[in-house]
Amino acid sequence: MAVTLQQIAERAGVSRGTVDRALNNRGRIRPEVEARIQEIAKEMGYQPNRAGRAMAMAKKKLKIGVILQSAETPFMRDVLKGTEIAKNEVESLGGTLFIHRIKGMDAGEVIRVMEELREKEFNGIALVPSDDYLLRQTIDQFVDEYNIPIVTFNADLEDTKRICFVGQDTIQSGRVAAGLLGEVIGGQGQVAVLSGNEHNRALKNRLKGFQQEMGVSFPEIEMLETRYTYDDNWVAARIMEDILEGSPEVKGIYMTGYGESGVCECIRKKGKDKKLKVVANDFSEESIEYLKEGLLNFLIGQDAHVQGYEPAMILFRLLFDGMKPEKELQYTDIVIKTKYNI
Amino acid sequence: MAVTLQQIAERAGVSRGTVDRALNNRGRIRPEVEARIQEIAKEMGYQPNRAGRAMAMAKKKLKIGVILQSAETPFMRDVLKGTEIAKNEVESLGGTLFIHRIKGMDAGEVIRVMEELREKEFNGIALVPSDDYLLRQTIDQFVDEYNIPIVTFNADLEDTKRICFVGQDTIQSGRVAAGLLGEVIGGQGQVAVLSGNEHNRALKNRLKGFQQEMGVSFPEIEMLETRYTYDDNWVAARIMEDILEGSPEVKGIYMTGYGESGVCECIRKKGKDKKLKVVANDFSEESIEYLKEGLLNFLIGQDAHVQGYEPAMILFRLLFDGMKPEKELQYTDIVIKTKYNI
DNA sequence: CTGAAAGCGCTTACAG
DNA sequence: CTGAAAGCGCTTACAG
C-alpha cells in the first residue's frame, strides 16, 4: 500500500495542505516544519500518486502544442503515430495535446503557429525547426520572456534555449553506414557517396561521419567525389549512370538523402544489382520495397516512434510532474534494417 | 475540454452511476437506456479519464506479479530495467507490481511463486516459462479455474492458455543472421554454426531460420556441420580450434547461443580476426567489447526493454482498462548492432 | 432498474 | 505560516 499525503500528515501532526507545501516547495511554510516533513516523507518512501495529481490538475488544463514540418513525408507520418500515442496519454490524464502539421519546410509558419499557441495560453511546445534566424530568436523569446518551454525534435537548433532535442546523432549515423558498407564490400575498392544537398546540416553530418569512419576503419577503400542528388530521383538516376560509366568498378554506394528509386532503377537497368552494395537512410514504403528486392542492402533509420512520442512527453513530465529532461541531447537509437528484419 | 460522465449524464437526463453502468456493461440497467447512453457517449466522443478511473480503482488495489527466470544474466538484467519502469507506472497509478527473480531456470520455483501470488490475491502474472509439463498445466489452471490471466515473455509456451507472449521471433532472428553473414562474406565460401545446445527451442529455431535463409538466398555458401557449445566458453574455444584446423578456409561463424569469448579468443590467438566474420546473439558487456574490437562483426538482439515493460503493462491495461492485447504473439524488434551503433 | 453519496490522492483558493 | 474544505472524474456499495 503506497504512502499518501494523508499518512505523512498524520505522522507529522500537520494537515495535508502543509505536507503538500513542504514536498512541492510552494513556500508559505516554516522552514523547520518543511525540513521535518521532507524527512518523514523520505523515510516513509513517499511517491506521489499520478492519478491524484492529474485529477487535481485537471482544473488547470495543461496544454501542449506539437508542430511538425514536412508532415507529408513517410517518415513524419511514422513520427506522427508516436505523437498520437502521446496525445492519447496526455488527454487521458486530463491535458490537451494539439498537433499542427506543416507541409514542407516553412519557418514562418512555425513562428505563426507558435504565436497562436501562446495567445491560447499553451504551456509548452515541441517543434521540428528549420535553420532560420527569426525562428531561433522566437524560441529564445518563448523560453526567456514567456516562460514557455520549447523542445526541438528531428532536427536541432543548437545555441538556442530549447530545453532539449530529441533525434538522431547524424554523425554517428554516417559512421554506421561506413561500417556496414566497408564490411560488406570487403574493405577495399571504390565507393561513391550521393548526398541530398550541400547545405542541410543533418546530411552534412552524415557525410562527415561516413568519411571519418571510412578513413579510420577502411583505409584501403577509395572514395569517389561526393555527388548531390537534391533529393531528386531523376537527378539521382543521372548521377548513378554517370558514376557507373566513369567508375565501372565501383562496389558500394552510400546515400545520405533521398533519391533511392532513381538510384535503384538505374542499378537494375544496368544489371549491377548483385554486384553493387547500397546503404541508404530512412524507411519509406518505397525504400523498404527495394530492400526486400535486394537492390538496397541496408537501411539506416531513426526511431520514428520515439521522435514523435518523447518530445511531447518530455514537456508533459516537465509541466505535470516538474521532472526535468535527463539530457539536453536525447539521441534516438540508430536502427539497422536488412530485408530480414524490416 | 474532454467529455465527462457528468456531461453525458446531463444530456441523457440520468445520473452518473447510470452512465457508468451503460458504458462499462455492468448490467442492472434497462437495455433501451443503455443503448441511448452509449449512442450519446459516442456522439460526444467520450474518452474515459484514466486518472479518475485510477483514483476510484485505488480502493481495489490491483496486484500484478512478474516472475523472471535466469535473472542473473546480463540480458535479464536489462529486461528487469523495463520491468522497473512498468512498476513505477503501475504504482504511480495506485497498483502494485511485485517482481520475483529466479536464478537460473527452475520451473518448480515458478509454480511455487505462482501459488503464493494466487493466495495473496494477485490479479495477473507475467512470467518467463520453461518447457515443463506441470508448468503448462499450472498456467492453464490459473487462467481457467482461478481466472488469473498469464502472460509469457522471453520464451513462450505454445498451446497453453496464456493470453499472450512477448518476445523474439526466433526463426526470423536466424534469418537475419543468415542475411548478414551471407552478405558480409560475399555470398560464397564456408560457414560454421555453433549452437548453444540441441534442445532449447529458441536456439533450434534460430538454427532453422538460419539454414532456411542460407538455402534460399545464398545457395553457393557451404554450411559445415552444426556444432554445440553448451553455452560454454571452454567448449566453444575447443570447437573453434577444431573448425579452424579442419576447415581453414571457413569465412563465417554464426553462434545461436553463448560462448562468444571462447570463440573470439581462439580467433584472436590464431590471428584470424580480420578474415573471419562472426555473427552472435544478445548484448552482454563482454560481447559488446568484442564487437568494439572487431572480433564480432554483428550482434543480433532483442529489445530487452520492451520485453520487461510490455508484459506487465499488457496485464495492467487488461485489468485496469479492460483492454485486451492486440495480438497473441507480440514479437519484439530484431535489433542489429555493429561497433558503430551500440 | 436507478439515483444519491462517499471516497480514491492530490492541489488550490480561502480564511485565519 | 497553517488548516479546513472543495473539487478534479471515476467506481461502488447502498438504498429505494
Q: How do residues A124-155 score in pLDDT, each as one tens digit? A: 999 999 999 999 999 999 999 999 999 999 99
Q: How do residues B240-249 score in pLDDT, each as one tens digit? A: 999 999 999 9
Decide: helix, strand or coil at residue A199: coil
Grid coordinates of B188: 560464397
A51 vs B55: CB contact, 8 Å cut-off? yes
CA distance A304 to A83: 10
| DSSP string over B273-332 | TTT-EEEEES--HHHHHHHHHTSS-EEEEE-HHHHHHHHHHHHHHHHHH-PPPS-SEEEP
Interval A188-205 mean pLDDT: 93
What is the structure's pLDDT at B30? 92
What is the structure's pLDDT at A207? 97
User: Closest by alpha carbon to B253, among B212, B221, B286?
Assistant: B221
CA distance A122 to A7: 35
At A289, the amino acid letter reads E
Q: Residue A286 CA to C16 C1' — how many Å? A: 70
Verify if strand D has an atom below 7 Å from the CB of B108.
Answer: no
What is the structure's pLDDT at A342? 84
Instruction: Render the burial of B230-259: b for 16+ CB within 10 Å, e for the rest.
Output: ebbbebbbebbbebbeebeebbbbbbbbbb
* Residues in chain A closer than 8 A to B184 (CB atoms): 183-184
What is the structure's pLDDT at B284? 87
B336 vs A339: CB contact, 8 Å cut-off? no
Grid coordinates of A139: 524560441
In this complex, the nucleotide whose C1' atom is nearest to the CA atom of residue B53 is D10
Beta bridge partners of B191: B223, B252
Interval A316-321 mean pLDDT: 92
Question: Nearest CB to B176: which of A2, A180, A338?
Answer: A338
Q: Is residue A21 within a helix (H) or strand (E), and if so which, with residue range?
A: helix A16-23
CA distance to partner chain A, nearest, from residue B146 (Å) = 24
What is the structure's pLDDT at A128? 98
Q: Scanning the structure block, which residue is given the C-alpha cell 555493429?
A: B338
Verify if strand D has an atom below 7 Å from the CB of A92.
Answer: no
Residue of higher predicted confidence among A284 and A336: A336
Q: Which residues contact A333 (CB under 8 A, 6 or more apart)?
A: A302, A303, A306, B335, B341
B197 and A CB contact within 8 Å: no
Planar angle of CA A193, A195, A200, nearest 5 degrees: 145
pTM for this predicted structure: 0.90
* Residues in chain A closer than 8 A to B183 (CB atoms): 184, 277, 297, 338
B334 and A CB contact within 8 Å: yes
Task: With a cut of 90, say whether residue B206 has pLDDT above it.
Answer: yes
Instruction: Please report, in angstroms and rounded to a whole number, the separation of the first and last CA atoms in chain B.
Output: 44
Q: Residue B53 CA to D8 C1' — how many Å? A: 12
At A332, the amino acid letter reads T
What is the widest separation between alpha-carbon atoms in chain A?
A: 86
Torsion of CA A305, A308, A314, A316, to 10 degrees: -110
What is the structure's pLDDT at A1? 65
- Strand C neighbors by CB, 7 A: A 2, 4-6, 16-17, 20-21, 23-24, 26, 48-49, 51-53, 55-57, 59-60; B 13-18, 21, 27-31, 33-34, 55-56, 58-59, 94
What is the structure's pLDDT at A40? 94
* Residues in chain A closer than 8 A to B251 (CB atoms): none
A341 vs B336: CB contact, 8 Å cut-off? yes
Task: With a cut of 80, say whether residue B289 has pLDDT above it.
Answer: yes
Q: Scanning the structure block, which residue is given the C-alpha cell 504511480?
A: B92
Grid coordinates of B57: 480503482
Grid coordinates of B157: 509456451
Q: Residue A4 CA to D14 C1' — how many Å? A: 27
Verify if strand D has an atom below 7 Å from the CB of A337.
Answer: no
What is the structure's pLDDT at A259? 93
Angle formed by the axes of helices A31-44 and A16-23, nearest 10°: 90
What is the structure's pLDDT at B61? 86
Please state, in angstroms and as integers, the Cα–Cα distance from residue B8 to each residue in A94, B18, B56, B340, following that order: 17, 10, 19, 55
Interval B111-131 mean pLDDT: 96
Q: What percentage of chain B exceeds 90 in pLDDT? A: 88
Chain B interface, best mutation among A4, A5, A96, A183, by max B CB count within 10 A: A183
Grid coordinates of A1: 500500500
Torsion of CA B204, B208, B211, B214, to 10 degrees: -130
A340 vs B183: CB contact, 8 Å cut-off? no
Chain A / chain B CB contacts < 8 angstroms: 100
CA distance A71 to A87: 17
What is the structure's pLDDT at A284? 87
Q: Scanning the structure block, which residue is given the C-alpha cell 554506421?
A: A176
- Nearest protein residue to nucleotide C1 (CA to C1' distance) is B29
- Strand B221-223 and strand B227-228: the pairing is unpaired
Q: Residue A310 CA to C12 C1' — how many Å? A: 30
Q: Residue A52 CA to D3 C1' — how many Å? A: 20
Grid coordinates of B211: 539454414
Task: With a cut of 70, say whether residue B1 has pLDDT above it.
Answer: no
CA distance B251 to A255: 29
CA distance A69 to A79: 11
- Nearest protein residue to nucleotide D7 (CA to C1' distance) is A56
Q: Residue A5 CA to D10 C1' — how many Å? A: 20
Task: With a cut of 80, say whether residue B142 has pLDDT above it.
Answer: yes
In this complex, the nucleotide whose C1' atom is nearest to the CA atom of residue B8 is D9
Verify if strand D has an atom below 7 Å from the CB of B52.
Answer: yes
What is the structure's pLDDT at A61? 86
Q: Is residue A191 within a helix (H) or strand (E), and if so which, with residue range?
A: strand A189-195
pLDDT band of residue B74 (cuts 50, 70, 90) is confident
Grid coordinates of A70: 514536412
Residue of A nearest to B177 (CA): A340
Instruction: Please report, in angstroms and rounded to a whole number, the separation of the first and last CA atoms in chain A.
Output: 44
Torsion of CA B163, B167, B171, B175, to 10 degrees: 150
CA distance B14 to B35: 13
Decide: helix, strand or coil at residue B138: helix
Planar angle of CA A22, A23, A25, nearest 5 degrees: 65
Task: With a cut of 80, say whether residue B208 has pLDDT above it.
Answer: yes
Q: Residue A35 CA to D3 C1' — how many Å? A: 19
CA distance B336 to B309: 20
Q: Which residues contact B303 (CB under 8 A, 6 or more apart)?
A: B332, B333, B335
What is the structure's pLDDT at A51? 92
Task: With a cut of 70, say whether residue B294 has pLDDT above it.
Answer: yes
CA distance A165 to A302: 14
* Residues in chain A closer than 8 A to B337 (CB atoms): 336
- Nearest protein residue to nucleotide C12 (CA to C1' distance) is A56
Q: Which residues contact A82 (CB under 8 A, 6 or more apart)?
A: A304, A305, A306, A307, A308, A309, A310
Residue of B nearest to A186 (CA): B184
Interval B44-70 mean pLDDT: 92
Contacts 24+ apart (CB under 8 A), B237-240: B237/B262, B237/B263, B237/B265, B237/B266, B238/B262, B239/B194, B240/B194, B240/B266, B240/B267
Grid coordinates of A90: 496526455
Interval A106-115 mean pLDDT: 98
Planar angle of CA B155, B84, A22, nearest 5 degrees: 170
Task: With a cut of 70, say whether residue B55 has pLDDT above it.
Answer: yes
Residue of higher predicted confidence among B342 and A172: A172
Question: Nearest CB to A55: which of B55, B91, B92?
Answer: B55
Q: Of chain A residues 4-23, which have a beta carbon within 7 Å of strand D? A: 13-18, 21
Q: Helices marked H in chain B — which ranges?
A: 5-12, 16-23, 31-44, 50-57, 74-92, 107-119, 133-144, 170-184, 201-217, 233-246, 260-269, 285-293, 304-321
Task: With a cut of 90, say whether residue B123 has pLDDT above it.
Answer: yes
Residue of higher predicted confidence among A82 and B342: A82
